[in-house]
Structure 1
Amino acid sequence: MPRKAEQVQDHQLFEYSPLDTHDIRLLELLPSLDFDAEIHCTVSHSSLEKHPPYEALSYVWGDSNYTTSVQADGRPHHVTKNLELALRHLRLRENRRLLWVDAICINQQDVLEKNDQVGQMRRIYLGAEKVIVWLGEEENAGIALKFCSLIQNGVSISRFQKEVGKNGLTIEEVWSSCNSLFGRPWWTRTWVLQEVIHSRPATVYIGNIQLDLDDLCAKYSGYQGFKHTHNSIQRDHIVKFDIYSSVFRIEAMISTVEIIGWRREQRMTSEENHDPIISMLSAMHMSRFQQCQDARDKIYGLCGLIGDVDVTIDYSLSKSELYSSTMKQMLLRYPESLLLVESPERKIDSEKLPSWVPDWTTSRSLVPAIMSFWANEAFCCSGGSDRDSNEYMDFKPKFHLENSTLVMRAVQVGTITRTSFIEVTFGIGEGYQDTMKVFAYDKNEIETQNTSDQNPLHKPAPSTMTMNNSS
Structure 2
Amino acid sequence: MARQPQHVPLFHRQIRLVKMLPAHWHDEVRIDLEVVSLDDCPPYQALSYTWGDQTDTQDISLCDEPFGVTRNLFAALRRLRQPDEARTLWVDAICINQKDNAERSDQVFMMKQIYSQATEVLLWLGDRLPGGSPSVPLSEGPIRDQAQSYSLLCAQADELATTTVVNSTEEEALVAFAVFNILSDSQHWPAKRVFSLNEKGGLMVSAACSAAWNLFLRLTRSSWWYRMWVVQEFVLAKTSQLIIGNISAPGTLITRFLDSQDQHVSASGCCHQYSTSWKMDESFRNGTMEFRMLMWGFKVARNIYRAADDRDTLGSLRTTALVMRYRQASVPRDKVYGLLALVPGTSLKPDYDIDETEAFARTTEVIIESDRSLMALVGSRAPSLRSPSWTFQTDVEGVEDWYYENTFRRIRFSELFSASKGLALRYRRNGNALELLGFRFGSVETLLGTFDEADGLREWESRATTEEGSYTRGGTLKDAFWRTTLRDMVISADGPDGAKRAIASDFVSYQVVRRWMVAKDHSERVSLEQGCVDFENLRRSIAVACRYQTFFISDGSLFGLGPNVQTGDEIWILAGGHVPFLLRPHSSGASEAHQNTYTLVGDCYVHGIMDGEAVEKTAILQAVRLI
Task: Report the Cα offset of residue 220 of structure 1.
Answer: 6.8
In the TM superposition, residue 242 of structure 1 has moved relative to its aligned partner by: 7.7
Letter in 1 for 2:240: A
**Structure 1: how far apart are the matches of 2:301 and 2:240?**
13
Alignment of 1:192-271 (within 5 A): 192-198=230-236, 200-219=238-257, 222=260, 239=274, 241=276, 255-260=293-298, 264=302
Superposed displacement of residue 435, structure 1: 1.4
What residue identity is the alignment partner of 1:133? L
Matches of 1:84 and 1:304, distance apart in 2:
27
Match of 2:173 among 127, 141, 145: 141
Q: Which has the larger radius of gyration?
A: 2
Pick aligned residue for 1:418 from 446, 450, 462: 446
SS at 2:329 equivalent: coil
State the Cα distance separating 1:18 from its structure 2 match.
1.6
**Residue 358 of structure 1 is aligned with which of 380, 392, 404?**
392
Pair 1:403 & 2:439 matched: no
Are the equivalent residues in 2 in contact too, given 1:131–1:202 (CA < 8 A)?
yes
Q: In the alignment, is the contact (CA less than 8 A) between 2:231 and 2:301 conserved in 1?
A: no
Contact 1:86–1:134, Cα closer than 8 Å, also in 2: yes
Alpha-carbon displacement from aligned partner over 1:25-64 (angstroms, at most 9, x marks no partner): 11111112x2121111211110001000111111101111
* Closer, same or farther: CA 368–202 of 1 in aligned 2, 3 Å: closer
Which runs of structure 2 are paired with 1:38-437 in the superposition (5 Å)? 38-139=28-129, 140-153=172-185, 154=187, 160=194, 172-198=210-236, 200-219=238-257, 222=260, 239=274, 241=276, 255-260=293-298, 264=302, 278-334=315-371, 335-340=374-379, 342-343=381-382, 346-347=383-384, 349=385, 351=386, 353-363=387-397, 369-373=405-409, 375=411, 377-378=413-414, 381-382=417-418, 394-419=422-447, 422=450, 432=543, 435=546
Unmatched segments (≥5 aa) in structure 2: 130-171, 197-205, 281-287, 454-538, 561-572, 574-578, 582-602, 609-627
> Quick one: distance in 1 between partners of 2:265 and 2:418?
42
Distance of aligned partners of 1:111 and 1:239 in 2 relative to their CA distance in 1, 3 Å threshold? closer
1:461 Cα deviation (Å)? 6.5
For each residue in 1:264-323, what CA deviation from the matched residue of structure 2 results, as whole angstroms up to 9, or x when unmatched?
58979x9x9xxx993111111121211111122122112212235312222111111111
For these two proteins, the number of residue pairs brought into alignment is 411
* Structure 1 alignment gaps of length 5 or more: 1-12, 163-167, 449-456
Distance 1:180 1:170 in 2: 18
Contact 1:136 1:207 in 2 (8 A): yes
1:140-191 CA-partner distances (Å, limit 9, x unpaired): 43322223334445386595469xxxxx976554443222212211111111
Query: Identity of aligned pairs, percent?
Result: 23
Q: CA contact under 8 A between 1:290 and 1:363: conserved in structure 2? A: no
* Gap change, CA 1:368 and 1:446, over 3 Å in 2: farther
Asked if 1:24 corresponds to 2:62, the answer is: no
User: Could you say which structure has the higher helix fraction?
Assistant: 1
Amino acid paired to 1:82: N
CA positional deviation for 1:239: 3.7
Aligned partners of 1:358, 1:464: CA distance in 2, in Å? 18
Residue matched to 2:605 = 465
Structure 2 contact 243–249 (Cα < 8 Å) conserved: yes
> Deviation at 1:326?
1.3
- C-alpha distance after superposition, 1:375-427 (max 9, x if no partner): 354255427xxx9xxxx5x41232223332222212333221134653799xx
CA-based RMSD:
4.4
TM-score scaled by structure 1?
0.73
Contact kept? 2:177, 2:249, Cα under 8 Å: no
SS in 2 for 1:126: helix
Q: How far, CA to CA, are the matches of 1:157 and 1:467 in structure 2?
A: 46
Distance 1:30 1:466, change over 3 A: farther
- Superposed CA offset, 1:107-140 (max 9, x none): 1112222221122111111111111111102334
Conserved? CA contact 1:291–1:298, under 8 Å: yes
